[in-house]
A = this chain, B = another copy of it.
Amino acid sequence: MPKETASQFFTRIKHFLFGAPLSNQMMAHEKISKFKALAVLSSDALSSVAYATEEILIPLGGFAAAAVAWSIPIAIGIGILLFIITLSYRQTIDSYPSGGGAYIVAKENLGTMAGLVAAASLLIDYVLTVSVSVAAGVENIASAVPFLREHKEWIGISVIILLMTFNLRGVRESSNIFAVPTYLFIVSFLILIGVGTWKIMTGVATQVAPVIHEDYPNVPLLLILKAFSSGCAALTGVEAISNGIPIFQPPTQKNAKTTLVWMSVILGSFFLGITLLAHMYGIMPKEGETAVSLLAHSIFGDSGLYYLIQISTALILVLAANTSYADFPRLASLLAKDRFLPRQLASLGDRLVFSNGILGLSLAAMLLIVLFKGETHHLIPLYAVGVFLSFTLSQWGMVLHHLKEKEKGWVKSLCFNALGAVSTLVVLMVITLTKFKHGAWMIVLLIPLLVLVFKKINTHYLNVGKELTLIGSEAPPGLELIKHTVIIPISGIHRGVLDALRYGRSISKDVFGVYVELDAESTERFQKEWKKWGHDLPLVVLKSPYRSVIDPLLTYINDVVGATKDEMITVLIPEFVTAKWWQHFLHNQTALFIRTSLLFKRGVVVTSVRYHLKSE
């Protein structure tokens, strides 16, 4: 292989697939308007409309057809919760102008451990956002195109691979591309809700059930709580704006707060609207078709508008999945900078994006898609726990923040955050209890496990730091030279080893050739050659009763390390580099074995002196 072609080749492939590297200068944050920011930051929250109503209907409908009447009060309850959380996050925007993610807020106000718990639940949630959104997006497409239903998992995995590639290339064009699906979704759902309501009011469509029932059927409280817990999936992603404040044009905080209100109003009205319409149109959960698809079918029939709804739903869901591709690596990098994750995650990749985090996120999300067979409904119980755990920690953090900082107008803020903190804590407990055996237990196990890993990694870095630090040490007056013996393992004298002998002689005065005897006859021949070409260098011949070349050599090196008082032993390995890659396999891999075997040996330096073969 010609010089460097291998590495150049991979670089070329990498650049082709993921784009050429970007320079530092291109990293400056782009500042965007409220209109664009809404598109970028609200896709996760808004997309919840696609599955939240269905999640309420599934447990109710599974109990009794009449029980779905409860979906309306449940949806109103979730609407109130949304209002409380919105109020609460407006306070966070005031207090954390550079972005107040749950990790930061919890760590600063409740201590490192709370911060790590929040971080663990957030990392899990980012993975689940990808899995749930992609699964729901695929389900909506499969609702419209039934023959895709069997292949849900593979389509989901393909979408994730596309998202991964897109993100590894870097998403600088973000805000403009993002605006399209978000506003397409908003417009198409306005049409859906508008036309749906109009058809009921004009009597074009038959109203199956009233909005307000005189009697609500008697159902167990646990069922109501279960349906409520599932419906809380509607609130995922609400925190995005308070995390992403720096991207707003000034006045930054004011714009962020306004956008948060816009988003909550849209989310709340869409969620309530869809839930009400689903009830009035008598939509019941059905295998293979989503509630949104059933409702859109009822309202639009099989027209183009139906397909518009399905496509815009799928698009905003994919966009929602995509937000995790910015959030996950950003949080991983914060954790890595605080030494709770491998330091490789802290640094920017080639493309100003955190390549390692993107890969990890994609693999985990794909694994979940496979494990849960691409079913949104099975993933939701895992999703809600982490979301509300981070909500709760973040709100409690804000409560302590106000008590400590006492900023201007802190009493009002404290009240709002306290209300948020208490409500989210109650909801968290309800979700954990009602969803525990449906999968929430995994999250309850996984979070402490992740925290343990964070702590373990942190301890390692702290210890290594202590072990390596030179702070407070006095430097010696000069670099002290090292006396070292050079050992050259050698199996025959030819042109390929002469440079190694000369190099060995040049770096030390104590140089030994070491030859492993496989049969006595060859040894004799070798010794003659060695005298001629090795000149004054001493030669050690090792016996090998088991015909292994490596074992006697390692034993000998051990002996030398013990016998000499040298600080170091240099093992100098002559190696071939063949002209063509396949020829490499025609030569013994002894050098590789020696190198691997010496990996954990203290006081041994391993050096390769390569001979480049020209032969075809």
Which residues of A are at the interface with B, using a C-beta cutoff of 8 A?
A: 1-7, 21-24, 342-344, 347-348, 350, 457, 459-461, 463-464, 466-470, 475, 478-484, 493-496, 498-499, 501-503, 505-508, 529, 532-537, 545-548, 554, 568, 570, 577, 583, 585-589, 596-597, 599-602, 604-610, 612-616
Contacts and interface: CB of A to CB of B under 8 A. Distances in A.
Contacts of A348: 547
A503 B21 contact: no
Contacts of A536: 478-479
Contacts of A600: 1-7, 577, 612
A506 B535 contact: no
A384 B554 CA distance: 49
A586 B342 contact: yes
A546 B532 CA distance: 52
A199 to B, nearest CB: 56
Contacts of A612: 600, 602
Contact of A508 (B466, B484, B507): B507
A480 to B, nearest CB: 6
Contact of A586 (B347, B460, B494, B534): B460
A615 B468 CA distance: 10
Contact of A546 (B343, B350, B507, B597): B350
B503 A605 contact: yes
B3 A601 contact: yes
A468 to B, nearest CB: 4
A357 to B, nearest CB: 15
Given A596-B7, A597-B4, A479 B464 contact: no
Contact of A463 (B3, B457, B498, B615): B615
A255 B588 CA distance: 41
A479 B460 contact: no
A599 B6 contact: yes
A24 B545 contact: yes
Contacts of A613: 464, 467
Nearest to A534: B479
Contact of A493 (B467, B470, B604): B470
5 contacts: A350-B547, A470-B494, A484-B506, A507-B507, A606-B608
A350 B502 contact: no
A531 B614 CA distance: 43
A546 B599 contact: no
A502 B475 contact: no
B616 A460 contact: yes
A449 to B, nearest CB: 15
Given A470-B494, A585-B342, A605-B607, A597 B21 contact: no
Interchain residue pairs A-B with the least CB separation, the first 3: A463-B615, A468-B494, A507-B507
A464 B615 contact: yes
Contacts of A548: 21, 350
B615 A568 contact: no
Contacts of A2: 600
Question: Most B CB atoms within 10 A — which of A475, A548, A570?
Answer: A475
A484 to B, nearest CB: 7
